[in-house]
Structure 1
Amino acid sequence: MVTDPISDLLVRLRNGFRRQHEVVTMPASKLKREVLRVLQAEGFIHGVEGAEEEGHPVLKVRLRYVGEGQPMITGMERVSKPGRRVYVGNKNIPRVRNGIGMAILSTSKGIMTDQASRKAGLGGEVLCSIW
């Protein structure tokens, strides 16, 4: 059993990029699917598809590379953790690497990027930062 599914997601993506895998498989959840949807919309990964392995639902993530095996995602950081949740108002949403990266937030309107959250005027829990 995984106690922190977002950290598990980030570690699996990081390991997949380091080993230059084309596809990374992980246990499925609605939260992971939504975070991956945001990453796909922002162009950090190619796509996500649901599958089933040994009777359990899994997500297969197609990783994206630029140039000669250079990963699209160069860094990831988990901000809000199970032991220390980080909530921000709409005026205190962090900028990641001066706008080069993005923060993913869980808001009352769903999972969205820092930019979309600012535009909607919503704050929420800062899940992670990606650049």
Structure 2
Amino acid sequence: MKDSISDLFTRIRNACLVRHNSVDVPYTKINIQIIKLLLRQGFIDNFQNNTKARSHQKSFKDGRARTPQRGQAHSPKRALTPQKQHKQGTAYLGGGCSWITLSLKYKKDHPLITQIGRLSRPGCRVYVHCEQIPQICGQLGIILMSTSRGIVSDREARQFGIGGELLGFIS
């Protein structure tokens, strides 16, 4: 995973489309900041940190576990080494990956998050001054911005009088 923000947005979008009550996302510092902003703005109910261990073992059809024999390929879903997890931005906690479980909000069986997308990408960053911050869906949506005060919404950035990188939008 190269872009954890796009991955977060895609997981949330897909969970809302199939009407899931919760969704698991990888733990990164930037994901935590975005999730706290979503909680402040009322787009999600709550979130919880979880640690899920991933196994190196393959299993038989009857559920018994077996270890790959010498010369056999490991499963593509094997646990990452601490170095690879560090490069990918996930926390390493004793052989497992740390995950965040988000509880999504619904109103009359319709998700509160109808659109979520990335504006600035790793290959093409988008920066704006405080007077140039766009609005999404009038007052219904928010724009996530990375500023010198952390990740804030477009309204907070206008209030502080600061610009920054446009990370994404939610409505």
Considering the TM-score relative to the shorter chain, is it more than 0.5?
A: yes
Q: Secondary structure at the match of 1:91?
A: helix
Aligned-partner SS, 1:74: coil
1:119 and 1:14 map into 2 onto residues whose CA distance is 29
- Runs ≥4 in structure 1, deviation > 6 angstroms? none
Aligned to 2:75: none
The 3-state SS of whatever aligns with 1:9 is helix
1:113 aligned onto 2:153: yes
The corresponding residue for 1:48 is 47
| SS of aligned partner of 2:131 | coil
Counterpart-to-counterpart distance in 2, 1:93 and 1:56: 36
2:104 alignment partner in structure 1: 63
State the SS of the aligned residue for 2:130: coil
1:65-84 alignment runs, 5 A limit? 65-67=106-108, 69-84=109-124
Percent of pairs identical after alignment?
Answer: 36
Unaligned stretches of 5+ residues in structure 2: 54-95
- Root-mean-square deviation (CA), in Å? 0.7
Partner of 2:70: none
**Structure with max Cα Rg:** 2
Partner of 2:85: none
Which whole-Å CA distance do the structure 1 matches of 2:130 and 2:16 have between them? 32
Cα displacement string for residues 79-112 of structure 1 (whole angstroms, at most 9, x for unaligned residues): 0001100000111111111221110000001000
What is the correspondence of 1:86-125 to structure 2 with a 5 Å cutoff? 86-125=126-165
Residue correspondences, number: 129
| CA shift for structure 1 position 18 | 1.1
Q: Letter of the 2:107 partner, please give it.
A: V
Deviations 1:26-71 (A, max 9, x none): 110010010011011110000111110011111100011000x200
Aligned to 1:85, the other structure's residue is in SS state coil
Q: Which amino acid aligns with 2:149?
A: K
Q: Which amino acid aligns with 2:117?
A: E
Q: Specify the SS of the correspondent of 2:103.
A: strand
Q: Structure 1: 5+ residue runs without aligned partners?
A: none
- CA distance in 2: counterparts of 1:19 and 1:122, whole angstroms: 37
1:28 aligns with 2:27: yes
TM-score, structure 2 as length reference: 0.74
2:132 alignment partner, SS class = coil
